[in-house]
Structure 1
Amino acid sequence: MEEVSELWRPGAQRVGRSRLRAFTDRCGLPEDYASLHRWSIEQPDSFWRAVWEFFELQGELGPHAVLPAAAIRETRFLPEARLSYPANLLRGDPAAPAAISCGEDGVLGTLTRGELAAEVARMAAALRGCGIGPGSRVAGVVANTPEALIAMLATLATGAAWSSCSPDFGVPAIADRLGQVRPQLVVACAGYRYKGRAFDIRPKLAELANLLEPRPRLVVHPYAIAAGDLPAGAEAWDDFMARGAGAELDCLAVGYEDPGLILFSSGTTGKPKCIVHSAAGLLLKHCSELGLHCDIGPGDRLLYFTTCGWMMWNWQASALALGAAVVLYDGNPFDPDPGRLPRAISEHGVTHFGASAKYFAACEKAGLRPFRGCAAPALRTLLSTGSPLLPGSFDYIYENWGADLHLASISGGTDICGCFVGGVPTEPVRRGRIQAAQLGCDVAAYDAQGKEVAGVPGELVCRNALPSMPLGFLDDADGARLRAAYFEKHPGVWSHGDWAVREDDGSFVITGRSDATLNPGGVRIGTAEIYRVVERLAAVEEALAVGQEADGDERIILFVRLAAGAALDAGLAEEIRRSLREQASARHVPHRIHAVAEFPLTRSGKLAELAVKAVVNGREAASTEGLANPAALARFAAAGRGADQDAGQ
C-alpha cells in the first residue's frame, strides 16, 4: 500500500477561528475529534440542539431537536420547530456584502445584505400576488447570478418549494425535471455565457412552456442577452419585481416536514428523481458542515464553482446563514485562461474556494501554478468534491496553491444535499484521504453480507438518520421508490451508492460509485484506483473505465483522453498496462484500451460511467438527457463491439 504522509497539520496561520474547537468547548467535551464524533452520534438530540444554539438560528426550536427511533425513516427531526430558511440567511449587518457576482469577462456586482433582503422582499411580495404560497412550487432555469439567489430565497419566504436547472440543459432534460415538479411559476435567464459567447435560451423557454402542464407563468431576466422579445406570455423581470415595490421582508416560518427544496438526480440511469428536502433540515446540516467542518463565519467569502443544476449551489448559499458572503461565478473556469478562478480568489478576497476534483486535475494538466505554494492572502481553505480527489492532486495543490491551506476533500450527494465525510480543521490532512466522517454521521463501509469492514473497499453506508435526508420523492406517496433507492441493499441502513475504504484511523478513501464498480474475476475494484495510476502519465489527460460482460465474467475496458500531440501506440498502451500492474495489481490491467476525443459528462461535470457501461455492453443508456454531450456515447458503443482495439492488442 502506498505510504500515506501528512501534508498539513492544524495550527497553521491560515486555519482561521476554529469554530469546531469553540463548539467543543461550549459542549464541555474533550478536544479530540473522535470523542466529539462519538458523542454526536450517540446523543443526536443533544448534538443537533447544540448546533442550533451555537449558530444562534432564528426560530422556535421546541423541547426536542431529534426524536430518535430504531428505524432511520421513523426518526423525527425538529418535531416542534418553526423557522424560516431565508430569514436566517438574510440576517446580519445590512451593510455587509452578501453576494458578489463575476464571470469570464470579470464584470463585478455586489449586493449587500440589506440590498439582497430588499430584493427578496420585493420578489416575495410579487410571488404572493400571483398566488404563490405554501403548497406551491417555483422553478428556475437560471445561471449562477444574484437573480437566482433572490428567486430561491423569495420562494422559500412565501412557504413555497424551489427547484432549479442550469440554462445549458437541453429542453428534454429540463422538461424531464420540471415536468415532474409542475411549477406554477418559472424564473429564467434570457441567456448565459460560456467560453466568451452569449447563448440565447429564449427559444428554448418558449418550447419548454408549451411542454409543461399546467402551463406555468414565466418571468425572464435579461442576463447575457439584452432585453428584447420575450416568449409569448412571459413577463420581464423588472416588471414582475415592480409588483412588490416597497414591500417589507416577510418570511413565513415553516416546519421540518414542509417541502422546501427539490433537487434532481443526474438522470443518466433513468428519468431524474425529484428529491424533496426540508429547508429547515438542510439549514441545520449545512451549519454543521460549513461552520464546524469548513470553519466559515462572519466576514468570510466562499466561492464554489458550480451551476444552479448541482447541489453545491444550494450548499454554498447556506454560507450566508453564517455571516459569510458568497462569490457567484458564471461561465467557463478556463476562459479566457486557466488562471481565471485564481484571479477571482485574489481579487475578491475569497477565504474558501471549492471546485470539482476534475477541475483541480485539469489545472494540474494545464501546468497552472496559481500561487506557487503561497496562497492568496485571504485564502484559508480549499474544498473538492464531485469525484475522488486523487493522491497526486493533493501533492499538486499543496505545492502550487498553498502549503498552509486546509484541503478538505468532501463527499456526499444530491440525495442528502450535503456530506457524509469531509474535512476537519482540527485534524491533519493525509495524502489521498478524506479526513473523517462528519459530525452526526455514523458512517461505515459494508461488505456484500452487510458486515462492517475496514482497510478494504465496501459499500458506503450511514447507520443513523440525518436532518438533510429527503422527506421523500415526488409522486412516491408510499415511499416505495425511496426505500428501493437507499434501504434495500442493506436493510435498516442508508446505502449511498459509493464504494469506499474506511481506514483504521477513521479517514476515508472514496474509490467510485458502487454501481459502476468493476468486478473482474469476482474481485471488486473502484474505478478511482485505475484513474489515480493512469492519470499520472503525461500522455493521458483523463481516464474512464467500465466493466464489460464476457463469458460469465467481467473484463475492464479503459478509455483515455490524450494530451495534445500524444497517440495511443503500442508503447503507450504497454506503459499504461505496466503502470497498473506495478502500482495497483494485475486485476486492474484492462482488456482493451481506446483513445477518445471526449468523455460523456453529466451537466455537473461528472463522468457518466453508468451510461458508458450500458452502451459498452450493448444496451441503451436509460437516459441521455442528463448528459452535457450525449453524442459522445457513439464512440463508446463502437468500442463495446470490439472496434478500434488499442495498438497493444
Structure 2
Amino acid sequence: MRWQHPSPHLTRLDAFRRQVNQKYKTQLQTYDDLHKWSVDELEDFCRELWAFCGVVYTKPPTKVAIGMEKMWPRPEWFPDARLNYTENVLSTGLSAHPDAIAVSACREGGTEWQHLSWGELRARIELWVSALRAAGIGKGDRIATVTTNSIDSVLLLLAAGCIGAIFSSTSPDLGIQGIVERYMQIQPKIIFCDSEVLYNGKFLDLRSKLSAALKTLRERSDTVEKVVVLSGRTWNDSMVISSARFLDVKPVPLQFEQVGFDYPIYILFSSGTTGAPKCICHAGGGALLQQKKEFILNSDMNLDSVYYQYTTTGWMMWNYLVGSLSVGSRIVLYDGSPLYPSPMTQLQILEEQGVTHWGTSPNFLANLKQNFTNGTRPTLETLHLIRCAGAPLSLEICDWLYKVIPTRIGLFNGSGGTDLVSGIVDCNVLQPFELGQISRPQLGMKVEIWNSLGQRIEDPGVEGDLVITRPFFSMPITFWGAGGTEKYRLAYFDHFEGFWWHGDFIRRQQNGSYEILGRSDGVLNPRGVRFGTAELYSVLDKFPQIADYIAVGQRRPEDHDEQVLLFLKMKSGRLDKGLIMSIRNSIRQSLSARHVPALIEQVDDIPYTLNGKRVENIVKDISHDGAELGHLEDGETILKVLYLSIDPAMRGWLDNDRSYLAPVEVGDVMRGQGIAVVEKSRSETFPRGSFVLANTGWREVAKLHESALQAVRVSHNIQLTDWMGVLGYTGMSAYFGLTDIGKVGAGDLVVITGAAGATGSIAGQIAKLKGATVVGIAGSDEKCSWLVSELGFDIALNYKAPNFKHEFTIATENLIDVFYDNVGGEILDFALTRAKQHARFVMCGAVSQHNALEPYGLKNYLKIVRLRVRMEGFIVLDYANRFDEARLQLSEWLKDGKIKSQQTIVKGGLLGAEQALLGLYEGRKLLVEVSEYEGLSDLP
C-alpha cells in the first residue's frame, strides 16, 4: 500500500520549499530536489531553517558554523548567537494561546488526568526555577532525575534550561547499578526522584532501591547535596526532602539565562556495551533546531497539534516529546504500562484527548494486534500521523493496522537515536512512500550507504552501513567526563575515519526509500531499547553458581522484534527453573524489565578469543542461521590475501648475515606484508568481511590469529592500498626516521637519497610539511622533475649527471642539517663533506650495496667526529608500538591532500611477484595483486 498526504501543497514543508525557491531563484519541485539543495548548500539551508522555525534569540547569528568543512572535529554551530532553550520551548505557545492547554498527563489506564495551560506552565516553571536557585543550583550544575513521565519531570527539564543547568533523567524501573553507573559519571548536585510508582496495576515502593543507590553514589562522589522526592514518601536521611518542602520558596520573576547555541541542555546515556554507559552531552540549540525541523517540516505540526508519545524518561523520545512544545503544540504524558489494563486503552486516549500525532513502537503495535477487539474499529477523527520508532516496522503490521484504522492516517517509520536526539531517515508529508519503508533522509542530513571498504553503495537493494558524510547541528557536544572526546571519536568517527558511522544496517530500494535491517554493531535492541551485554554480565557476577555466560541478540525473519538470548555455563549441576527465575528477577531489579532475556539456556562452554574477549558475534551468527565456523581456534581467522607489498628489505632477508631477523630459508614462505579480507573468523574484533593489514607472507590464503592483524579503514583520499604505502612500513620509516632520529624542524636543510622511491618520496613531503628546505636525489631527469613539480621538493638532483657533485655542493651551500639515506655508498660519503655541525644522518637503507661484490668503505668518516655528526641506523619494527601515532598524523595529511601517494600495481598473482622484484630499484612503490575480490576494481 502506498500513502500520500491528501494536500501536500498546504503543508509547512511545501511552504518552506516555495520560500527557498523565491529567495534563491531555484526550481525545487520535489522533496528530493529540496533535500539535495539542503545538503549541497548546507549553510544556506541552516540560515533558512533558523528563520523559518522562528528561533528566539537575544543575539542573532552572523555565521552558521566554524569548521563545517569536515565532521570531525565537531564544528562550532552558530558561534556568536545567544539564546535559551526553555524560552524557545515556551515562546510560540505563550504568545499564540496562553490559556490553551500545553501539557496533559495521566496515570496508567488513562486515569487521574492533570492539565496545564501555557500560562500555568510558565508560572510553575518560575516556581521551580526559584526553588533551584534557592538551593544553590546554577549554570553548569547537573540536575539528575529518577522519575516517571510526569508534569514535574517536564517542569524540571525546562527549569534547568532556564538557568543554564544541565539535565539528565532515568526511568524508575532502572536498577541500583544502572542508576549509579550513570550518575556517578556526571556528578549531579541535586537528584529528584519518585519513591512510589504505579505499573501494571500495582504500586511499587522504591525507597529501599533509591536509598541504596544514593548510599553508593555518596561513597563514590561527594557532589550530591540534596535529594527531592516528587511523589511518594521520603525516608530517614537528612539529605532527603519532599517536593513540597523544596518548593516552599517565594517565586522570583523568571529570567532566561542566555547561552551559546552549543551550550549543553541535557546528558543522555548510551547502552553500556563495553562498560559503564557513555554520557552523551547535547547542545540546547542543536536539539531545539533539529527537533523543530522535524516537527514543523516532516510532521507538519502546528498550534492545533496534540502529540502523544508513549515513552519513559529513560528514552530519548521523552526529550523529543518535550521539544515538541516549541512549535506551540500540546503534549500528552502517560505514566505506567501501555498494556494495562489492555493495549486498547491507548486508542481510547487518542480519541478522548484529540491526539493528532501519535508516537509508538512496532512492538506495541504487535501487542495491539494480538489483543485487538474485533468490531471496535476506532474512528480516530483527529489523528493525522502515527510515528513508529525503536525498531523496523514490518509490512505485516502495516497491513493489519490499515484494516482497523482510517487509511488517511500516515504511518511513518524512521531511524535516528539517542546519539542525535532526533532522526536521520524518516517519512515526510511531501514524498509518497510504500508502507513499511522509510521515505527519505531528513533535510540537511547527508546520508549514504557504505560497504566495509568505506565505498558508497549506489545500487538499490544492496545492504550496508548508514553513514552521514556532512555535519549536522544536533551532533553531541562531547561525551561527559574524563576521556570523553576520545570516546566520542571512537563511537562515531573511527569505523569510517572522519565520517559518522551510525551502526544501522540499511538498504535503499529501487524507489529511493530505505529499509533498516537492524543494528550493525553489538548493541542489544529488544523492543527498541538499546543496551549492552556488559550491563547483564555485571548482574550475573553476583550468582556463585554461574561459571561463565554470554548474551546475544536474535531476530529471525519471522520475528517482529529482536530478543535477547542468554547462555550460561554452570560451575556444577544443572540450571533449574528456580535459578532461572532468580536470575530474571535480579536482572529486572538491577536493570529493568526490558533487560530480561527471552531465553536462558545452559551450555557446556563459552567461546573466547585468546586475549580474553567473549566471541559474541559468532554466537549471534549461530543463533541466526547456524553458520559453521570451520576448524578454527578462538581468535583465529582465515584470510584471503588481496595485495602483497614488494619492499627493499626483502633483499636483505635473503642474506645469511647477522641481522634483526633470521634469513628466509630455502623452502620457507617468503616473508611479506599483505592486505587481506577475512574469509572465516573466530575473532570478535575481526568478523568475516573485515579488511586487515598483516604479515601474510607470499601466499594467497593465510591463517592468522587476531593479535597479528591491523584493522584497515578507507575514507576520503585514503585508498585501501595506502595501508602498504603512506600508512604502511614505507610511511612509518619516513615518519619515524625524520621525526624521531632526524628531529627535522623548520628551517632545516634536508637531503633525501632515493627520493623518488616509496620511502624517500614520503620523507621529502614530510620534511616540507615540517618547514624544511628539501633536496632530493634521484636517478633520472624525469624523476627529478616529478619530485619538484608534483611533490613540492625545493631542488632535485640527478646523481647520474656528470656535474652531480658540483650541483650537490651548490644545493647544500648552507650545509646539511638532516641527511635521510636510502642509498649509501659514494653519495653518502660525499654528503659527509657537506654536513653541518651536529648534523643528523638517518640511515634507512643502502640499496647501492645490496648486490655489491665489496661494500663501499667511507673515506670521509673523520667528518663524523670533527663535525659531531650523529649517524644512526634504525629498524621500523622497533616503532611498532607507535604506529598508531604516525598513522593518525599521516592519514590527516593524506585526507587533506598534503601528502601524495604513488603506487604501481602488478597483476598476475604470485607469478607476478618475480616481475615486481625486477622493478624494486626503479623508484616505485610496488604492490602485487594476489587475488581478485568482488568490488576490488572499484576501490577508491
What TM-score, normalized to structure 2? 0.56
2:114 is matched with which residue?
109
1:57 is matched with which residue?
55
Secondary structure at the aligned position of 2:131 is classed as helix
1:267 equivalenced with 2:260 (yes/no): no
Cα distance, 1:448 vs structure 2: 0.6
8 Å CA contact retained: 1:21, 1:31: no
2:77 is matched with which residue?
77
1:295 equivalenced with 2:300 (yes/no): yes
Which whole-Å CA distance do the structure 1 matches of 2:62 and 2:418 have between them? Answer: 30
1:480 equivalenced with 2:486 (yes/no): yes
Cα distance, 1:492 vs structure 2: 2.0
The amino acid that maps onto 2:291 is H
Alpha-carbon spacing, 1:332–1:390, altered in 2? closer, same or farther (3 Å): same
Which whole-Å CA distance do the structure 1 matches of 2:466 and 2:478 have between them? Answer: 21
Cα distance, 1:517 vs structure 2: 10
Q: How does 1:546-625 map to 2 (within 5 A)?
A: 607=562, 609=564, 612=565
Secondary structure at the aligned position of 1:108 is classed as strand
8 Å CA contact retained: 1:166, 1:309: yes
The answer to which structure, 1 or 2, has the higher relative contact order (CA under 8 A, 6+ apart) is: 1
1:499 is matched with which residue?
505
Q: How many correspondences in the alignment? A: 556
- For each residue in 1:301-334, what CA deviation from the matched residue of structure 2 results, as whole angstroms up to 9, or x when unmatched? 1000000000000011111000001100011111
1:197 equivalenced with 2:202 (yes/no): yes
Q: Which 4+ runs in 1 deviate beyond 4 A?
A: 227-231, 368-371, 556-560, 606-609, 613-616, 623-627, 636-642
Which whole-Å CA distance do the structure 1 matches of 2:86 and 2:31 have between them? Answer: 31
Alpha-carbon spacing, 1:313–1:339, altered in 2? closer, same or farther (3 Å): same
Secondary structure at the aligned position of 1:31 is classed as coil
1:512 is matched with which residue?
518
Cα distance, 1:249 vs structure 2: 1.8
Cα distance, 1:428 vs structure 2: 1.3
2:34 is matched with which residue?
36
Cα distance, 1:559 vs structure 2: 6.6
8 Å CA contact retained: 2:280, 2:478: yes
2:696 is matched with which residue?
none
Q: How does 1:146-165 map to 2 (within 5 A)?
A: 146-165=151-170
- For each residue in 1:500-526, what CA deviation from the matched residue of structure 2 results, as whole angstroms up to 9, or x when unmatched? 0022433110000002599xxxxxxx9
Which whole-Å CA distance do the structure 2 matches of 1:558 and 1:628 have between them? Answer: 16
2:597 is matched with which residue?
632
Alpha-carbon spacing, 1:640–1:199, altered in 2? closer, same or farther (3 Å): farther
Q: How does 1:242-641 map to 2 (within 5 A)?
A: 242-243=248-249, 245-367=250-372, 372=377, 375-453=379-457, 454-477=460-483, 479-516=485-522, 607=562, 609=564, 612=565, 626-628=591-593, 630=595, 632=597, 635-636=600-601, 638=603
2:537 is matched with which residue?
none
Which of 88, 96, 99 does residue 95 from structure 1 map onto? 99
2:224 is matched with which residue?
216
Which whole-Å CA distance do the structure 2 matches of 1:205 and 1:369 have between them? Answer: 43
2:18 is matched with which residue?
25
Which whole-Å CA distance do the structure 2 matches of 1:67 and 1:256 have between them? Answer: 13
The amino acid that maps onto 2:396 is G
Cα distance, 1:628 vs structure 2: 2.8
- The share of aligned pairs that are identical, in percent, is 30
The amino acid that maps onto 2:38 is S
Which whole-Å CA distance do the structure 1 matches of 2:566 and 2:126 have between them? Answer: 48
Secondary structure at the aligned position of 2:183 is classed as helix
The amino acid that maps onto 2:323 is S
2:127 is matched with which residue?
122
Alpha-carbon spacing, 1:214–1:370, altered in 2? closer, same or farther (3 Å): farther
Which whole-Å CA distance do the structure 2 matches of 1:517 and 1:170 have between them? Answer: 19
2:926 is matched with which residue?
none
The amino acid that maps onto 2:54 is E
The amino acid that maps onto 1:108 is W
The amino acid that maps onto 1:79 is P
Cα distance, 1:126 vs structure 2: 1.5
8 Å CA contact retained: 1:48, 1:284: no
Cα distance, 1:256 vs structure 2: 2.5
The amino acid that maps onto 1:426 is L
Which whole-Å CA distance do the structure 2 matches of 1:199 and 1:152 have between them? Answer: 25
Alpha-carbon spacing, 1:492–1:65, altered in 2? closer, same or farther (3 Å): same
8 Å CA contact retained: 1:615, 1:633: no
Which whole-Å CA distance do the structure 2 matches of 1:636 and 1:415 have between them? Answer: 33
Alpha-carbon spacing, 1:350–1:180, altered in 2? closer, same or farther (3 Å): same
Alpha-carbon spacing, 1:188–1:455, altered in 2? closer, same or farther (3 Å): same
Which whole-Å CA distance do the structure 1 matches of 2:515 and 2:604 have between them? Answer: 30
Which whole-Å CA distance do the structure 2 matches of 1:16 and 1:368 have between them? Answer: 37
Cα distance, 1:70 vs structure 2: 2.8
Which whole-Å CA distance do the structure 1 matches of 2:591 and 2:502 have between them? Answer: 20
Which whole-Å CA distance do the structure 2 matches of 1:43 and 1:167 have between them? Answer: 44
Cα distance, 1:476 vs structure 2: 4.2
Secondary structure at the aligned position of 1:433 is classed as coil
1:548 is matched with which residue?
none
- For each residue in 1:333-390, what CA deviation from the matched residue of structure 2 results, as whole angstroms up to 9, or x when unmatched? 1111121111111111111001122111221122356973x64111100000101111
Which whole-Å CA distance do the structure 1 matches of 2:552 and 2:66 have between them? Answer: 48
Which whole-Å CA distance do the structure 2 matches of 1:94 and 1:235 have between them? Answer: 33
Secondary structure at the aligned position of 1:632 is classed as coil
* Root-mean-square deviation (Å): 3.3
Cα distance, 1:73 vs structure 2: 2.5
Cα distance, 1:53 vs structure 2: 1.0
Cα distance, 1:484 vs structure 2: 0.9
- For each residue in 1:562-617, what CA deviation from the matched residue of structure 2 results, as whole angstroms up to 9, or x when unmatched? xxxxxxxxxxxxxx9xxx6xx9xxxx9xxxxxxxxxx9xxxxxx8465xx48879x
The amino acid that maps onto 1:83 is L
8 Å CA contact retained: 1:155, 1:161: yes
8 Å CA contact retained: 2:387, 2:411: yes
1:10 is matched with which residue?
5
Alpha-carbon spacing, 1:508–1:189, altered in 2? closer, same or farther (3 Å): same
- For each residue in 1:150-169, what CA deviation from the matched residue of structure 2 results, as whole angstroms up to 9, or x when unmatched? 01111111111000000111
The amino acid that maps onto 2:597 is A
Secondary structure at the aligned position of 2:600 is classed as helix
1:570 is matched with which residue?
none
2:767 is matched with which residue?
none
- For each residue in 1:108-151, what CA deviation from the matched residue of structure 2 results, as whole angstroms up to 9, or x when unmatched? 10011111111111111211222222221111111000000001
Which whole-Å CA distance do the structure 2 matches of 1:306 and 1:445 have between them? Answer: 30
- With 301-310 and 40-49 compared, the bigger mean Cα shift is at 40-49
The amino acid that maps onto 1:486 is Y
Task: Specify the structure having the higher radius of gyration (Cα).
Answer: 2
- For each residue in 1:168-227, what CA deviation from the matched residue of structure 2 results, as whole angstroms up to 9, or x when unmatched? 11111110101111000011122211111111222222222212212513343453x3x5
Which whole-Å CA distance do the structure 1 matches of 2:167 and 2:552 have between them? Answer: 41
8 Å CA contact retained: 2:207, 2:234: no
Secondary structure at the aligned position of 1:396 is classed as helix
The amino acid that maps onto 2:30 is D
Alpha-carbon spacing, 1:640–1:437, altered in 2? closer, same or farther (3 Å): farther
Secondary structure at the aligned position of 2:247 is classed as helix
The amino acid that maps onto 1:484 is L
Which whole-Å CA distance do the structure 1 matches of 2:63 and 2:553 have between them? Answer: 52
Which whole-Å CA distance do the structure 1 matches of 2:236 and 2:468 have between them? Answer: 47
Alpha-carbon spacing, 1:431–1:182, altered in 2? closer, same or farther (3 Å): same
Which whole-Å CA distance do the structure 1 matches of 2:554 and 2:475 have between them? Answer: 35
Which whole-Å CA distance do the structure 1 matches of 2:552 and 2:210 have between them? Answer: 40
Alpha-carbon spacing, 1:72–1:39, altered in 2? closer, same or farther (3 Å): same
Unpaired runs of at least 5, structure 1: 519-525, 529-555, 561-575, 589-598, 600-605
